[in-house]
Structure 1
């Protein structure tokens, strides 16, 4: 009886064995006997080994394993250890990485463990990696790292570390101390509230630091030792003030993004020691500080400045004289007063200027003379009442000028404005108290051809402008309320006759034919000079009126 039971269990094991995962792994993406990929599902195991006579580069992929703690024992059955140069974990569930887990793969240069639900990295988990260059621990569930969690071999050359998209609340002193060759550090999309002054102190070679979408409120001295830093992104945090001592030692800085914070104060000496600065974005903050002359005095390479949606009230004359700006956005601020010939002095290379939605009242003589490369100028939604006849002198590259929604009246010499800007293609004057007579007179006098004037209900151009009768402007610019007596209205209705109806229809058909003919003529004829003058009074203003990414 016992013998039968034993035989039964042997048969059961033989039959049931194929239902469980095996420890054999497949070879894919075969390039040659030295370069291929080994894929292991659920368990790490052995794979076919090829004779290799050159430097091996095997990519080892382990996926869908479900173990609480990853240890070196998990990899005990692999037979290709010394050939592995890249390790990737895909959709695993590893709560913790234990010490020395990867001791068999010391020659690996790339380790990607992103998206594996890791919560804890134990001390010296990666110590055996002597040649590691890239370590990705992003998209996991880590809340903290101990000082030795990222401890590597003293000879390591790690240059890229990605800790983004976790739940980290801080980076303790010591966590990054063993990474002197680190160049790129990604910490975005965490819950970091502060970084201690010495948390980054050992990263002398760091060139890129990405910290956007965290909860940092102050910088203090955390950046003071980053002499090689070229790019800093701290957008979408909770910064309230940027002091000079916090940033003015970033000697190599080229790109700075601090948009979408709560910054109210920007000290004028923040960039005094950043001669290589090219791009600065402070958009969507609450900056009330005056833009002073000394703020960008040492930034001759500055090309892009975005101050969109702040509370800046004043720009000192000559503030941009030493820069090399080709794009500046000052939209949605509180800039008030006059634009003079020294307000934007030095902006000879600028191509786009947005001063939309301010409180500018006048454009004085030679206000934009410096801007000989300017192609697009937006001055809409201001309080401009006065434009000097020389405001746009020597602006030979201007194609688009938007002066809509101001207080521009007949006192402004529209004729001179049209004539002086030889390359202008679009001039928007809608939403201004300009009279019909003034516009028509300007079009008749100007030497430019094919000028098209769009009002709220008419299109005027060279073919029909001489027949336009504006009538009494004192009436046309007012809203008139008509009150008709009901009895009188009834009598008028009774007196209507068939000839009147026929006359109305004939008039409508005549107008339609004229409009079609004019449209065809305009379409066929070659345009030169100003191609369109906008006078619309119903302009939709949705979101930003200016392009925000024009640096090419």
Structure 2
């Protein structure tokens, strides 16, 4: 997907040039991925704008080897064995927009590596072994909009993101982080997507997101949170997607999302939640996707979703329901999943007011009869229920 995007962005007509052995050349793109290269090959057209050297055995970028490629805008060097110098990218610094350095086993970055690559808008440093980075390593990248630091061993310092005033996407999952310094996000007020999932974080400073007034997506999945960081999230008035699945959350304060009226996607799955406050979802009037799967919930009030009239996807799998109420407010629901609970019977007319319901998953419960099902529902799944062996009527759903 990324490769196709850059082909569209950077491809123009190209005069005829030879193509290096084991490479593919098209227009202004040279693709030498998986070419078993130990060195950057000769014969690359100097007009090349997009150059893929990923998945090879490169160990260095010798001085001057990139000098002919003054028009280069994308350089892919991921999954090699590179060591980098301060001046590695100086020869292409004028036009380079995107740089992929993922998977190179890098343990550190030369402090002046990006000093001259001031045009960069996209930088991938994922799947390395980076730990302590210079506080000014990104300071010259004032145009950078995307930074991927996933799956490293980062030790965060408060000034690591200084200079990244245009950054809108920051990826940091899988870094074994156990804390996030207060003030670290203050230099990046235009951030829209923040992913710090798959770490070991148990708490966050109260004012951590105070300056992130443009944040749309916040991903905190698979950490060690025991509660939703209440003070932090009340100020995120524009947040549209919040995911905190795979943590240890047991109790949720009633007004956790009082300031998040723009929220459209909420994922609280795979926690330890047993009870939800009656008015927990009342302010989330734009909510379209809700995942509560994998918790310990055994009952819900029938009117808990009364204000969530935009809800289209509701996942309640793997909880402890035995009985369900007739929910109000779900007129636009298209998918409801209730797999793997202990549900024995459905209320009569259970789905009658779910006018747009297309898929209902009731598999692996203890349902013996299904009188509450609306015949207009396109897909009903009853696999793994006694009704599948005791009734002929519902065989088509088993």
Give the TM bin, normalised by the shorter chain: 0.7 to 0.9
Using the TM superposition, name which of 309-318 and 160-169 deviates more.
Answer: 309-318
Counterpart contact for 2:349–2:374, Cα < 8 Å: no
Match of 2:89 in 1: 150
Counterpart contact for 1:164–1:186, Cα < 8 Å: yes
State how 1:363-442 maps to structure 2 within 5 Å. 363-364=300-301, 366-383=303-320, 392-402=327-337, 414-415=347-348, 417=350, 421=354, 426=360, 428=362, 431=365
* Structure 1 residue 331 displacement after superposition: 0.9
CA spacing shift, 1:421–1:226, aligned 2, 3 Å? same
State how 1:220-369 maps to structure 2 within 5 Å. 220-292=158-230, 294-295=232-233, 297-300=235-238, 302-321=239-258, 322-341=260-279, 343-364=280-301, 366-369=303-306
* Structure 1 residue 280 displacement after superposition: 2.5
* Structure 1 residue 130 displacement after superposition: 5.1
Count residues with an aligned counterpart: 379
CA spacing shift, 1:429–1:368, aligned 2, 3 Å? farther
Counterpart contact for 1:261–1:285, Cα < 8 Å: yes
SS at match of 1:241: coil
SS at match of 2:297: strand
CA distance in 2, matches of 1:448, 1:384: 21
Aligned alpha-carbon RMSD (Å): 4.4
Unaligned runs of 5+ in 2: 1-11
SS at match of 2:275: strand
Match of 2:76 in 1: 136
Match of 2:18 in 1: 38
Counterpart contact for 2:253–2:277, Cα < 8 Å: no
Tell me which structure has the larger Cα radius of gyration: 1
* Structure 1 residue 192 displacement after superposition: 1.6
Match of 1:506 in 2: none
Counterpart contact for 2:178–2:199, Cα < 8 Å: yes
Aligned structure 1 segments of 4 or more residues deviating by more than 6 angstroms: 84-90, 105-108, 407-410, 446-454
Query: Is 1:185–2:120 an aligned residue pair?
Result: no
SS at match of 1:172: coil
When normalised by structure 2's length, the TM-score is 0.76
Counterpart contact for 1:249–1:274, Cα < 8 Å: no
SS at match of 2:75: strand
* Structure 1 residue 401 displacement after superposition: 4.2
State how 1:436-455 maps to structure 2 within 5 Å. 443=371, 455=385
* Structure 1 residue 173 displacement after superposition: 1.2
CA spacing shift, 1:459–1:229, aligned 2, 3 Å? same
CA distance in 1, matches of 2:18, 2:177: 47
CA spacing shift, 1:419–1:167, aligned 2, 3 Å? closer
CA distance in 2, matches of 1:208, 1:151: 21
Could you say which structure has the higher helix fraction?
1
CA distance in 1, matches of 2:298, 2:277: 8
Counterpart contact for 1:303–1:324, Cα < 8 Å: yes
CA distance in 2, matches of 1:311, 1:374: 25
SS at match of 2:233: helix
CA distance in 2, matches of 1:352, 1:118: 45
CA spacing shift, 1:453–1:261, aligned 2, 3 Å? closer
SS at match of 2:183: helix
Q: Deviations over 1:350-369 (max 9, x none)?
A: 22212122233542463111
* Structure 1 residue 408 displacement after superposition: 6.9
Could you say which structure has the higher strand fraction?
1
Match of 1:67 in 2: none
CA distance in 1, matches of 2:98, 2:62: 20
CA distance in 1, matches of 2:373, 2:112: 74
* Structure 1 residue 209 displacement after superposition: 0.9
When normalised by structure 1's length, the TM-score is 0.57
Aligned with residue 172 of structure 1, among 101, 110, 115? 110
Unaligned runs of 5+ in 1: 1-30, 43-58, 62-83, 462-514, 524-531, 535-552
